[in-house]
Structure 1
């Protein structure tokens, strides 16, 4: 059995140098995610990043801006400026290192939607970025909030994907009687839950019915949906009739078919059985190689090693593995190589 050599890691994180310098000046002191940024040099040190990438044949990355989202740390005007700075930096990296970076993904000032839509046009038309990343929730607002619908309309028109990244902090308590989450529950389990909530709200709001060609990429392999698929199907089959009339009327086909419209990345730290579960739910056509680089115990190398190995061990054809490793990304992002 041959191993696919070309690999496009579709969900990696980075911080362009000038953006990082500006971020550290204006971010609130003690913000936990800023501490994380400082302890992960491969977010900004390209030499270290490239040394790790060189250990894996045929590897290129799609770059997204690392958290925090600009709208979390800046007022609407500052967020606009930060997004422009970040997007300029991403575009510069892709232009300078095309053999390393297959594409860049825009960030938008989601607390300033007029500016966000203008920046989206600039990012796609002028900078040639290949989509946008949104973090959910957006300053505690759901992605299906009416103010965000113009973004989905534009992305459907551009026929480019939206990368959905979950964002919960320690201030999301595990129980209502507490003030904060303990033992990192907010990220280890809360992020897949947040992804699942966002997917469900997008479906039942009718966004995918209105924009059937809209392409949405979930982080961490579709949250909980592929692994609880029979519960999802059975539960909504049972309660669908109890949903409000306007909710039911937004859907023209079974709810599970909308869940299968999402593209799901493989960034679950390497787990063949879990990937097979996702494969059985959405098919190879909707799985995308990703590692969440560089966030692991080895500055990105561990997840690369484990995720690649997990995909290679999947009981699927070589052609399907090639789709997951690179083919789907090329098609989705209209990449020439």
Structure 2
């Protein structure tokens, strides 16, 4: 069996509400894009694609954008509830297809998001939550969010992390927008790496020892810059002038920064980049890597990245049979409590 640990979907009731929103110009492009990916909403299409891979199941979550971006806080809280009820129903109706779901939460209101997570865990059986790398540009180590992190960690549920910058994050300070979709190709990986760094230096792994964070795209930039993350950050402060010391003052860590980075879990959604995937697996270790494809956001709109990731794991990455089994199924089973 293969358990695909990071797949996107739009439940029917959520889709009806989402596509009806007409007061947000920022959403228009995302609405158009998702309309053009049938497997996000059409289960017949999705199941035909999944059949190619034999004994194969998915852990599903709500597709982008972040719930916080679909409107004012009252609407986003309502949309999170609609999404979670819909995701839970899909898992209940199709247990042979969907191994579980990670709940949507609106972090506009951390207390309300915590209650939504509680509802999703206790009433709906969610195996985790999905969050994004920032909330309207606010960092995720904002102390306002501590109540949410502490609660999810106490429940030992998985926190899936997805990037979310857009073209308004310019490539240079002198420009107004990012060009050539750099905000996506490179920016999303920077988003993920920045989230990881801020969580490490805020002391997340020491304050909440039970926290389980699953990073999308194999940990993004971090494993590929291990020299800077390791011996580079061992010299934290060497590059900072005295008048900026507050910029490097964080939680008093008791270990090297790189040790905390290796406590994240990561998925294999590298879109067929076998060498890069191998680097990530060596950095995090086979016990912290979960098979995932990011389906259905490939050029074929469904099966392409699944197929490419399987090919990477079968032919491009040096794994023993036991290690490959752990990545395909065992790690997800243990981490999500399936």
Partner SS for 1:106: strand
In the other structure, the counterpart of 1:320 is: 323
Alignment deviations for residues 23-46 of structure 1 (CA, whole Å, 9 cap, x no partner) = 112252463222211111110000
For residue 68 of structure 1, the aligned residue among 65, 81, 85 is 65
1:274 to partner: Cα distance: 1.3
> Are the aligned partners of 2:202 and 2:251 in contact in 1 as well (CA < 8 Å)?
no
Using the size of structure 2 for normalisation, the TM-score is 0.94
Distance of 2:313 and 2:258 partners within structure 1: 25
Distance of 1:249 and 1:13 partners within structure 2: 34
Residues 1:217 and 2:219 aligned together: no
Question: Any residues of structure 2 matched to 1:71-86 within 5 Å, and which?
Answer: 71-86=68-83
For residue 183 of structure 2, the aligned residue among 181, 186, 190 is 186
Distance of 2:181 and 2:93 partners within structure 1: 37
Residues 1:299 and 2:301 aligned together: yes
> Are the aligned partners of 1:205 and 1:247 in contact in 2 as well (CA < 8 Å)?
no
Partner SS for 2:8: strand
Partner SS for 1:61: strand
Using the size of structure 1 for normalisation, the TM-score is 0.95
Question: Any residues of structure 2 matched to 1:272-311 within 5 Å, and which?
Answer: 272-311=274-313
Distance of 1:244 and 1:111 partners within structure 2: 27
In the other structure, the counterpart of 1:3 is: none
Aligned length: 330
Residues 1:263 and 2:265 aligned together: yes
Distance of 1:267 and 1:94 partners within structure 2: 22
> Are the aligned partners of 1:217 and 1:264 in contact in 2 as well (CA < 8 Å)?
yes
> Are the aligned partners of 1:167 and 1:191 in contact in 2 as well (CA < 8 Å)?
yes
Residues 1:161 and 2:158 aligned together: yes
Question: Any residues of structure 2 matched to 1:10-49 within 5 Å, and which?
Answer: 10-27=5-22, 28-29=24-25, 31-49=28-46
Could you tell which deviates more after superposition, 305-314 or 268-277? Answer: 268-277
1:249 to partner: Cα distance: 5.3
User: Do the aligned partners of residues 31 and 171 (structure 1) sit closer, same or farther apart at CA in structure 2, a change above 3 Å counting?
Assistant: farther
1:246 to partner: Cα distance: 8.0
What value does the CA root-mean-square deviation take over the aligned residues? 1.5
Alignment deviations for residues 284-332 of structure 1 (CA, whole Å, 9 cap, x no partner) = 0111101100001101211011001101122110100111111000000
Distance of 1:155 and 1:116 partners within structure 2: 10
